[in-house]
Structure 1
Amino acid sequence: MAFDPQAYRPERNILSLGDAFYDRVTAANFPETRLRFRNDRAAAEVGLAGLDDAEWVRHFGRFVPLPGSLEQPLALRYHGHQFRTYNPDLGDGRGFTFAQLRDDRARLMDLGTKGSGQTPWSRFGDGRLTLKGGVREVLASEMLEALGVPTSRSFSLIETGEELERNDEPSPTRSAVLVRLSHGHIRIGTFQRLAYLRDEDGLRRLTAYVLRDLYGEDSDDPVRLLSLVVERTARLAARYMAAGFVHGVLNSDNINVTGESFDYGPWRFAPTWEPAFVAAYFDQTGLYAFGRQPEAIHWDAMQLAVALRPLVEAEPLIAELDRFPAHYQPAVTDAILWRLGRRPRSAEEDRATVQEVERALRTTGVGIDRFFFDAFAQRLPESYGAEWDAARALLDRHAPRKPRDHAYWNGAPRSMLIEEVEAIWSAIAQADDWAPFHDALAHIRAMAVALA
């Protein structure tokens, strides 16, 4: 049976918000549908691993509705600050929410698209996704998942047979449609739109929906919502740092209120611990640079507080916002110790260790991925030199959290720097050779097991 009766649990809870929150849309009719990637691990968690390839393409390339879920795709409405400038002309312009269903942890999940065609919010865009953009999103989400970052997961990538014109890559270029599995697609910008429209009833309804359906809490308290979002987004910022990841576009419409990272465009992994490293060529002021990501995410959380202000007095919202650093500091310490394969000792000792590691990484220019590979669950090699003596002494005080016995540790560190991404894409673009892409995914998943 294609749909596992034990694991497949379709939902349509988002319809409870009402038509003012979305537009019903129709997917583009693509000239072809060539399956390039399917995430059977994620599919098993939502009861869809039993679909054969033809059924898979029918649902995730032609967008035939999943039984019991949404009967028509929904393009969600939202606003947002883009590089600190407010934009009220946003919304799902090349994607939609296709289905909702429960995962094996009983969480309400969305299957959302990227590149599925034009919507009322496309403005002057064609609603499409380049195949290169889809490949990059798969690589980013798989790498982040392996490194312990809360992230959406690339569920499906299907090449669609159109030629696209783009200004930022050689054109014409190949097209694709991506489906991602996410713990909701409600953004900070979703709340900002309602505040902009002075829709207090809508704000209350959305607050209750997020608390009930995404956080599992019987509450409609906006202060409680902000508290949860501040905690989750602080953890996200910490995990970005430990992963050496630069999202590139941390606008308020790109921040999911569940604290789950998503929508990977100009992302990069930093080769070294350089706080000023940026991912996007258009980020000329370094607003979203590697070292400024916690600040940027905190600022976005502030915009949620502003949006919730019509529902509650300012003081309790300010109090929750002020807790962001208190959540972030232990979270980044825990995340870096986790990637180092070390057990915590005490808050004071743990923070001292992490601060010294960060200092040494920054001043010596050692590669981030090389360092974490060499240091995982073992003494830092003497070849690192005297500049690392203080960090080495502090690391030696932390017991390993798991043995270094996986075969992954016998090879080389898996990284996903821009040169590696471009090499993977070059093989596809020049010879339709997908072997480097699949080899990279296999190596990433081996790393995930070694780290977990």
Structure 2
Amino acid sequence: MPIDPQAYRPETALLDLGPTLWDPVEAADFPQTMLRFRNDKAATQIGLGTLTDAEWTQAFGRFTPLPGTLPQPLALRYHGHQFRQYNPDIGDGRGFTFAQMRDDRGRLMDLGTKGSGQTPYSRFGDGRLTLKGGVREILATEMLEALNVPTSRTLSLIETGEELARGDEPSPTRSAVMVRLSHGHIRIGTFQRLAYLQDEDGMRTVVRYALRHLYGEDSDDPVRLLDLVVTRTATLAARYMAAGFVHGVLNSDNINVTGESFDYGPWRFAPTWDPAFTAAYFDHAGLYAFGRQPEAIHWDVMQLAASLRLIADSDPLVALIEQFGPRYQPQITAALLWRMGVLPRSPDEDRALVQVMERALRTTATPMDRFFFDAFGGALPAGYGPEWDAVRAALAPYGPRKARSHAYWQGEPCSMLIDEVEAIWDPIAAHDDWSALHAKVAAIRTMGAALG
């Protein structure tokens, strides 16, 4: 296999957790393996960009072990709150981790799957992924990466030739297996399971693993881990908001302790700054609505703190949980200034700008992507009427973070609303025409280059 010997650095750190945290499993034997998407940009960062398509399909459709890393796939064990109801009967039900390596920044990365077959945690599921679900995940991860949100990346999508029955889309539908490149798959739910089982040794093991392998700290202090997670998750919540992104299912088993977003099901981008906008049709109470996402992530981190009480005193954990809001506030300010393309000035000025901007977006129902495109660099166009005067005045002293010299600024804003997602999928479903998807990925990456 022609891996890049200079860039490929395999790891087996997950084995350190021991079999109390995972189960060895086997991938499904798919009828077909048709390569539909390969992320060479991401693959190059882990030394796998030189694989031929045939080798790629063998590695990411048949799961032939990559050299020097995990000898077989591992399904991770975890619990979690799902829409605030505790569920001890979950785990990797249609995915597994099958390889680890260092990226070009030195970070430990996992290759994990979605749709790779049944595991001990599949319950009544078939362990499969719809092709449409894989396409949606490509679009979500590409868009979030471009918008400066810490996210997993979709490395590969392979169609598998099975027909799947699903209740929420026309059936039978096409199937796929997806590979995700992620900075760890240790979730808040991992710690919840160990607390539920009163497994102190297991809890200490996973705390040590997270600190050493995911944060690069030679420590086993659970309070220190919570401190880091509070900062990372507050940053994630802020960047969701600045991106206009609604994850849809912010359950505690979907929150990675590195603060990296992953696992995209019923996601959407909000058309306007509408705090009540929801992504999941089944979120009837709006628990994970756009404007409630910081609260939801904070609540999940509280469950991590509660779990860590198994091996740590409560007082320092409670004190850190109370820091989520104070750490979120400067992060949302910084994220919105980044999206507007202006350099920060002073904390008071920056907060004032963000407040008037958010108020104008909310009260005028201006499309978010349009506003951030027009305002990038700090010069609000004349077409924005008097209701934007306060924003124009607040922006006046700000300098641009980056010049509008990229060709992207001569066109139209790149967005990813639900109608476009469906428009990209329709020709795939009808004619096996993937050109719209590949064109959209290219357009998103162009936007990412312009935003810097």
TM-score class, shorter-chain normalisation, is over 0.9
TM (norm. structure 2) is 1.00
What does residue 47 of structure 2 align with? 47
Asked if the contact 1:130–1:173 (Cα under 8 Å) also holds between the matched residues in 2, the reply is yes
Question: CA-to-partner distance for each residue in 1:110-145, whole Å, 9 max, x for gaps?
Answer: 000000000000000000000000000000000000
What does residue 148 of structure 1 align with? 148
SS at match of 2:20: helix
Deviation at 1:67, TM superposition (A): 0.5
Deviation at 1:377, TM superposition (A): 0.9
Deviation at 1:378, TM superposition (A): 4.3
Dislocated runs of 4+, deviation >3 Å: none
Greater displacement, 295-304 / 426-435:
426-435
What does residue 429 of structure 1 align with? 429
- Alignment-mate amino acid for residue 12 of structure 1: T
Deviation at 1:384, TM superposition (A): 1.2
Question: CA-to-partner distance for each residue in 1:354-385, whole Å, 9 max, x for gaps?
Answer: 11100000000000000000000141112110
Question: CA-to-partner distance for each residue in 1:385-404, whole Å, 9 max, x for gaps?
Answer: 00000001111211001110
TM (norm. structure 1) is 1.00
Question: CA-to-partner distance for each residue in 1:71-104, whole Å, 9 max, x for gaps?
Answer: 1000000000000000000000000001000001
Distance (Å, rounded) in 1 between the aligned partners of 2:304 and 2:267: 24
- Alignment-mate amino acid for residue 298 of structure 2: H
Distance (Å, rounded) in 2 between the aligned partners of 1:397 and 1:269: 30
SS at match of 1:310: coil
1:148-167 to structure 2, matched below 5 A, reads: 148-167=148-167
SS at match of 2:280: coil
1:299-314 to structure 2, matched below 5 A, reads: 299-314=299-314
Deviation at 1:312, TM superposition (A): 1.1
Asked if the contact 2:378–2:398 (Cα under 8 Å) also holds between the matched residues in 1, the reply is no
What does residue 336 of structure 1 align with? 336
SS at match of 2:111: strand
Distance (Å, rounded) in 2 between the aligned partners of 1:19 and 1:378: 54
Question: CA-to-partner distance for each residue in 1:282-318, whole Å, 9 max, x for gaps?
Answer: 0000000000000000000000000000111110001
SS at match of 1:412: coil
Greater displacement, 376-385 / 121-130:
376-385
Greater displacement, 392-401 / 165-174:
392-401
What does residue 230 of structure 1 align with? 230
- Alignment-mate amino acid for residue 118 of structure 2: Q
Distance (Å, rounded) in 1 between the aligned partners of 2:438 and 2:260: 25
What does residue 405 of structure 1 align with? 405
- Alignment-mate amino acid for residue 323 of structure 2: R
Question: CA-to-partner distance for each residue in 1:8-57, whole Å, 9 max, x for gaps?
Answer: 00000110111111010000000111101001011011000010000000
Asked if the contact 1:152–1:262 (Cα under 8 Å) also holds between the matched residues in 2, the reply is yes
Asked if the contact 2:276–2:291 (Cα under 8 Å) also holds between the matched residues in 1, the reply is yes
What does residue 130 of structure 1 align with? 130
SS at match of 2:235: helix
Deviation at 1:420, TM superposition (A): 0.3
- Unaligned residue ranges in structure 1 (runs of 5+): none
Asked if the contact 2:46–2:101 (Cα under 8 Å) also holds between the matched residues in 1, the reply is yes
- Alignment-mate amino acid for residue 252 of structure 1: S
- Alignment-mate amino acid for residue 164 of structure 2: L
What does residue 22 of structure 1 align with? 22
SS at match of 2:309: helix
Identity percentage over the alignment? 73
Distance (Å, rounded) in 2 between the aligned partners of 1:151 and 1:221: 26
SS at match of 1:32: coil
What does residue 10 of structure 1 align with? 10
1:63-212 to structure 2, matched below 5 A, reads: 63-212=63-212
SS at match of 1:397: coil
Asked if the contact 1:2–1:49 (Cα under 8 Å) also holds between the matched residues in 2, the reply is no
- Unaligned residue ranges in structure 2 (runs of 5+): none
SS at match of 1:311: coil
Distance (Å, rounded) in 2 between the aligned partners of 1:141 and 1:88: 28
Distance (Å, rounded) in 1 between the aligned partners of 2:9 and 2:91: 28
Deviation at 1:146, TM superposition (A): 0.1
- Alignment-mate amino acid for residue 308 of structure 1: L
- Alignment-mate amino acid for residue 145 of structure 1: E
Asked if the contact 1:246–1:267 (Cα under 8 Å) also holds between the matched residues in 2, the reply is yes
Number of residue-to-residue matches in the alignment? 452
What does residue 370 of structure 1 align with? 370
SS at match of 2:101: strand
Distance (Å, rounded) in 2 between the aligned partners of 1:2 and 1:339: 40
Deviation at 1:427, TM superposition (A): 1.1
- Alignment-mate amino acid for residue 168 of structure 1: D
What does residue 215 of structure 2 align with? 215
Distance (Å, rounded) in 2 between the aligned partners of 1:47 and 1:180: 15
Distance (Å, rounded) in 2 between the aligned partners of 1:150 and 1:36: 24
Distance (Å, rounded) in 2 between the aligned partners of 1:371 and 1:27: 46
Deviation at 1:162, TM superposition (A): 0.5
SS at match of 1:384: coil
- Alignment-mate amino acid for residue 129 of structure 2: L
Distance (Å, rounded) in 2 between the aligned partners of 1:92 and 1:241: 28
1:239 aligns with 2:245: no
- Alignment-mate amino acid for residue 63 of structure 1: F
